[in-house]
Chains A and B, each alone.
Chain A
Amino acid sequence: MTAFALPMASNDGGFVPPTISDTHLPDILPWMAEYGTGLGKQMIMVILSVVLITVFFKVAIRNPKLVPGRVQFFAEGFYSFARNTVGRDIMGEKNFRPWIPLLFSVFLFVLLNNIFGAIPLLQLPSFSHAGSAYAIALIIYFTWIAVGVQKHGIRYFKLAVVPTGVPGWILPLLVPLEIISNFIVRPLTHSLRLMATMLAGHMIVVLAGSGAQYLIMEQDSILLNATGVAVIAGSVAMYFLELLIMVLQAFVFTLLTAIYIQGSLDADAH
């Protein structure tokens, strides 16, 4: 970390770059308790996201019309994206219907919690904390395993790890690889992909903020102050890139959910 510090960091009031710990604010209940001991900002935001999604969609379709109004049209956009673009196109006409609520919930939950990172004052993507990413990835992990077992019985595990159409002598090599790939790496990548992108985006915001603050407030040179303004200008571009990544990651997460469940349903087909 110190490698990133500016040359003048040797001064007494030198720049200390932000670290992961800066995303771990003191808890709110009990007030200002050490992070991890109580109810923190991140948890409140996760709960807030559920409340917001529920309230928005309940209000938007409180009185559904055949010809939708503006709000209903907006809400239906999200729903039909999860339903048709992700659900139907990935899982197929035959399988997708029971999974619409899950896909819709996952998409909206991840999307809104990511977008929180782009909203001033909230400015913390919930999934930049590994715990949340693990939780939701685990739920989906158990879901697709359960789906496979329910559909194919205990034989599902054989179907999932023994590829068909390969010579027998290669199986001792392939089966362990498949086990690692499907049952260990998959949930990790599923959760860490989301967590890492969100954390990286958040760190850039924190870095830009603290850097600009240091350059503008704590430096006397007008030149360095101007550089601070340039940092802020640059962070605006980063902000929009982050916004794109937030939406994209919500889409990718939902897409993978659909693919995993579809893979379990059709485990005997490949």
Chain B
Amino acid sequence: MVTAAVILASEGANPLLPNWWEVLVTAVAFAVLLFVVKKFIAPTFEKSYTDRVEAIEGGIEKAEEAQAEANALLEQYKAQLMDARTEANSIRETARAEGAQILADLKAKAAEESARITAQAQVQIESERVAAVNSLRTEVGTLATSLAGKIVGEALNDDARSNRVVDRFLADLEAQSNAGVSK
């Protein structure tokens, strides 16, 4: 406080009067600062700004690209799906047609087979019937002869005669049945 009073008394310090050393130091210090900022600090900041802008714009661009790609893929998938659908339809149609064809073939084959089996059976039946008729003819003849012989009491041992009688009887029988059938 005393010093202040002394200075006040001696100089009457005027706040507007500069200390020229301070002017010099400030000017030089500011020039140095400006140089450093211009040379080192501002370029780094500007580069950082530019990089960031680029990164953001690049990111947007990349996103747009990805979007476009995704759209293209979607279109492609849709087209593929459509193709697949058409193809599936045609395959189904073909299959249906083929199935019908196969069914018809099978039906025809089955009919043929059944006809064949029927024919075969008929042939067999006919032959068996003939065999049965022949065997019956013999046996019935014998039985009837012996029965008639027993009843008549006369030996009809003459085979030739008895056979004739039997044959005649059977022929009559046959003629009767044929007439019955035709009637």
Contact = CB atoms under 8 A, between A and B. Distances in A.
B37 to A, nearest CB: 5
Given A20-B13, A66-B52, A135-B23, 16 more contacts: A21-B4, A24-B13, A38-B21, A43-B25, A46-B22, A47-B29, A50-B36, A53-B33, A58-B40, A76-B45, A79-B41, A101-B34, A105-B34, A126-B26, A134-B18, A139-B31
B16 interface: yes
Contacts of A39: 21, 25
Given A61-B48, A109-B30, A40 B7 contact: no
Interface of A: 16, 18-22, 24, 26, 35-36, 38-40, 42-43, 46-47, 49-50, 53-54, 57-58, 61, 64, 66, 68, 76, 79, 83, 100-102, 104-106, 108-109, 126, 129-132, 134-136, 138-139, 192, 195, 199, 210
B44 A100 contact: no
Given A16-B4, A49-B29, A54-B36, A66 B51 contact: yes
A32 to B, nearest CB: 10
A43 B21 contact: yes
Interface string B35-58: 011101110111110011001000
B181 interface: no
Nearest to B36: A54
B26 to A, nearest CB: 4
29 contacts: A21-B4, A24-B7, A24-B13, A26-B3, A35-B19, A36-B19, A39-B25, A40-B22, A43-B21, A46-B22, A46-B29, A49-B33, A53-B33, A54-B33, A57-B41, A64-B44, A79-B42, A101-B38, A101-B41, A126-B26, A129-B18, A129-B19, A130-B17, A131-B18, A135-B24, A135-B27, A136-B30, A138-B27, A210-B1
A105 B29 CA distance: 11
A43 B33 CA distance: 15
B29 A21 contact: no
B131 interface: no
B32 interface: yes
A40 B30 contact: no
Given A57-B41, A64-B47, A210-B1, A50 B32 contact: yes
Given A16-B4, A46-B25, A135-B22, A130 B15 contact: yes
Interface of B: 1, 3-5, 7-8, 11, 13-27, 29-34, 36-38, 40-42, 44-48, 51-52, 55
A134 B40 CA distance: 27
7 closest pairs, A vs B, by CB? A131-B22, A131-B18, A135-B26, A101-B38, A21-B7, A132-B26, A64-B48
Contacts of B24: 135
A210 B3 CA distance: 14
Contacts of B46: 100
Contacts of A104: 37, 41-42
Given A104-B42, A126-B26, A109 B18 contact: no
A132 B23 contact: yes
B16 A130 contact: yes
B18 A101 contact: no
Contacts of A49: 29, 33
Contact of A102 (B14, B23, B34, B47): B34
B34 to A, nearest CB: 5
Given A20-B15, A49-B29, A132 B22 contact: yes
Which of B27, B40, B47, B51 has the most chain A CB atoms inside 10 A of its CB?
B27
B23 A131 contact: yes
Nearest to A192: B16
Nearest to A199: B15
Contacts of B31: 139
Nearest to A75: B45
